[in-house]
């Protein structure tokens, strides 16, 4: 009886080994000692001699926030160009692009009158990007709270007209993927002002897009949708703590009045640039692999995680190749995109020029999810590409890169998809990202040096594999 059991177990082991071998793709055979050695050296170099952290310090502290159209954005363009030239890239150039120009202004305040004769209560507030300002004297009106556009429609013009609409739908804390939670409520920020205007509202307030309970309001882009309303009213965000406070106030007194003042203003578009540098390929120089992030940031904080981290990640990829003497087969092109935050004009222009010149792009990798601990990469490509890239997991898993999964890659490389380019997104841990996103807390001090360096090394290893084996 024991011998039968032993025979059965041996048969199962043999079948298991055969099945494993059948499912193994040819690409798995390329997981060899050379690749392991090179990737190990990439991480060693990044973690002991890395320059991305100091580059981020310079970008954040010497320049600071870099909203499109601002003097700081102009300084960032020169910073990026000079750094690429100092690194010794083969070709460094600027790509002209017209970008939106919006300024916050000096005043952005909201105060609540709790009761007649009592002192007004001020709440932490910031204007949303592209919003119009209020009249010089401000707007004074009752506040009405809603969770979504459907609830607003049910109230209708009769109950909304003449009021400031307060959208108070929070990010869903049950979702492990915080980007999914963000996606579930960001429409109230992007179009809340248009929907408020549709029903006669005179302004829109939105709860900040953050899971953190604090007093830092988060800005972000909004836009006026003419299909919803041809009227424009001011849009602003209040902090999560203020949103909770205001909601409690309204429960006690549904007739609360607020005074809102904002000096923000839109100006004509302004000339700016994408910053581009190339490490020429030795075998296929006309075949491009793009790696990039966006150079602009909101005018809150210093744009450290969003997207200073992505900028220095991308620069560090080519610096690692140069310092280690890795000669790519294909041309690695670093692109620092301008205007991701409020228009994505840099992304559109890059894709337009690539198409016009009939450039051959093999792949594009974007970093725009902060400088946190690496988890892997997202893949926006066909199933064959997904399988091939996933076959490299044995090389990447030792460095914590377990999540090589289908998914969205990024705003700035998305326009390339129509040209058949395989798109990839750097995927770090997301739990702390929205603590800082578009807020005053997005500063250099919020970035961990080791996590940032691990991210740069992960991206360099990934680019190394794409270049070596193709797609």
Residue 38's pLDDT band (cuts 50, 70, 90) = very high
One domain for residues 305 and 439: yes
166 belongs to a structural domain: yes
Extended beta strands in 280-397, E state? 284-294, 330-337, 360-366, 374-380
One domain for residues 213 and 224: yes
pTM exceeds 0.85, yes or no: yes
Treating both helix axes as pointing N-terminal to C-terminal, what angle do 309-324 and 71-87 enclose, rounded to 10 degrees?
10
4 belongs to a structural domain: no
Residue-wise pLDDT tens digits, 127-162: 999 999 999 999 999 999 999 999 999 999 999 999
One domain for residues 241 and 296: no
Return the DSSP state at 305: I
Asked if residue 15 has pLDDT above 90, the reply is no
Which residue, of 236, 263, 290, is where some domain finishes? 263
Asked if residue 325 has pLDDT above 70, the reply is yes
One domain for residues 299 and 428: yes
One domain for residues 91 and 111: no
One domain for residues 208 and 291: no
Asked if residue 30 has pLDDT above 80, the reply is no
Phi-psi region of 433 (alpha: psi -120 to 50; beta: other; left: phi over 0): alpha
Q: What is the DSSP string of 134-160?
A: --TT-EEEEEEEESSHHHHHHHHHHHH
Percent with pLDDT over 70 in the chain: 93
5 belongs to a structural domain: no
Higher-confidence residue of 2 and 365: namely: 365
Asked if residue 10 has pLDDT above 50, the reply is no
52 belongs to a structural domain: yes
9 belongs to a structural domain: no
451 belongs to a structural domain: yes
Q: What pLDDT sits at residue 116?
A: 74
Residue-wise pLDDT tens digits, 89-139: 999 999 999 999 999 999 999 999 887 777 889 999 999 999 999 999 999
Helical ranges in 266-377 per DSSP H: 309-324, 345-356
> Region 198-202: what's the mean pLDDT?
98
Residue-wise pLDDT tens digits, 255-280: 999 999 999 999 999 999 999 999 99
Q: What pLDDT sits at residue 17?
A: 41
One domain for residues 98 and 183: no
The total domain count for the chain is: 2
Residue 31's pLDDT band (cuts 50, 70, 90) = low
Residue-wise pLDDT tens digits, 212-256: 999 999 999 999 999 999 999 999 999 999 999 999 999 999 999
The mean-pLDDT minimum among 9-18, 155-164, 187-196, 361-370 falls in 9-18
The CATH number for 298's domain is 3.40.630.10
Structure tokens at 112: 């609540």
One domain for residues 328 and 431: yes
Alpha-carbon gap, residue 257 to 109, rounded angstroms: 14
| 81 HSE (CA, 13 A, CB side) | 15
323 belongs to a structural domain: yes
212 Cβ neighbours under 8 A, 6+ residues apart: 240, 434, 435
Residue-wise pLDDT tens digits, 335-360: 999 999 999 999 999 999 999 999 99
Residue 32's pLDDT band (cuts 50, 70, 90) = confident
For residue 126, give its domain range. 105-263
Residue 2's pLDDT band (cuts 50, 70, 90) = very low
Asked if residue 5 has pLDDT above 70, the reply is no
The CATH number for 217's domain is 3.50.30.30
Residue-wise pLDDT tens digits, 62-97: 999 999 999 999 999 999 999 999 999 999 999 999
Catalytic one of 108, 287, 316, 340: 340
Structure tokens at 195: 């929907």
Average pLDDT over all residues of the chain: 94
One domain for residues 65 and 44: yes
Which residue, of 263, 281, 313, is where some domain finishes? 263
| Residue 78 annotated among the catalytic residues of the structure | no
Which residue, of 228, 263, 298, is where some domain finishes? 263
One domain for residues 320 and 414: yes
One domain for residues 377 and 429: yes
Q: What pLDDT sits at residue 13?
A: 42
Q: What pLDDT sits at residue 440?
A: 98
One domain for residues 255 and 276: no
403 belongs to a structural domain: yes
């Amino acid at each position: 009886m024991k011998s039968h059991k032993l025979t059965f177990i041996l048969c199962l082991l043999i079948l298991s080994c055969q099945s494993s071998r059948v499912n193994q793709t040819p690409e798995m055979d390329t997981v060899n000692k050379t690749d392991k050695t090179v990737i190990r050296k990439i991480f060693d170099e990044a973690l002991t001699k890395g320059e991305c952290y100091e580059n981020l310090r310079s970008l954040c502290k010497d320049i600071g926030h870099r909203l499109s159209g601002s003097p700081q954005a102009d300084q960032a363009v020169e910073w990026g160009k000079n750094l690429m030239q100092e690194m010794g890239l083969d070709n460094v150039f600027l790509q002209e692009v017209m970008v939106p120009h919006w300024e916050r202004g000096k005043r952005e305040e909201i105060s609540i009158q709790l009761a007649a004769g009592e002192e007004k209560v001020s709440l932490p507030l910031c204007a949303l990007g592209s919003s119009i300002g209020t009249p010089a004297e401000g707007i004074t009106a009752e506040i009405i709270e809603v969770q979504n556009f459907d609830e607003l429609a049910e109230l209708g013009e009769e109950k909304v007209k003449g009021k400031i609409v307060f959208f108070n739908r929070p990010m869903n804390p049950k979702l492990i993927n915080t980007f999914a939670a963000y996606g579930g409520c960001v429409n109230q920020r992007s179009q809340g002002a248009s929907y408020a205007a549709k029903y006669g509202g005179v302004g829109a307030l939105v709860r900040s897009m953050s899971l953190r309970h604090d007093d830092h309001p988060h800005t972000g882009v909004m836009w006026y949708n003419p299909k919803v309303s041809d009227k424009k009213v001011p849009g602003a965000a209040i902090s999560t703590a203020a949103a909770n406070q205001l909601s409690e106030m309204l429960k006690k007194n549904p007739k609360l009045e607020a005074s809102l003042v904002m000096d923000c203003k839109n100006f004509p578009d302004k000339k700016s640039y994408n910053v581009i540098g190339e490490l020429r390929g030795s075998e296929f120089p006309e075949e491009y692999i793009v790696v990039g992030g966006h150079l602009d940031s909101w005018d809150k904080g210093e744009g450290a995680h969003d997207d200073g981290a992505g900028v220095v990640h991308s620069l560090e990829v080519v610096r690692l190749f140069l310092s280690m003497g890795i000669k790519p087969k294909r041309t690695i092109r670093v692109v620092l995109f301008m205007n991701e935050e409020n228009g994505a004009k840099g992304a559109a222009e890059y894709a337009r020029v690539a198409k016009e010149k009939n450039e051959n792009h093999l792949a594009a990798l974007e970093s725009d999810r902060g400088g946190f601990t690496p988890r892997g990469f997202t893949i926006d490509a066909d199933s064959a590409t997904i399988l091939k890239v996933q076959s490299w997991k044995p090389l990447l898993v030792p460095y914590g890169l377990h999540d090589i999964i289908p998914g969205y890659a990024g705003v700035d490389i998305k326009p390339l998809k129509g040209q058949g380019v395989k798109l990839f997104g750097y995927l770090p841990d997301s739990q702390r990202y929205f603590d800082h996103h578009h807020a005053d807390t997005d500063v250099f001090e919020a970035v961990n040096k080791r996590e940032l360096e691990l991210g740069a090394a992960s991206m360099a290893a990934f680019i190394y594999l794409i270049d070596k084996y193709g797609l």
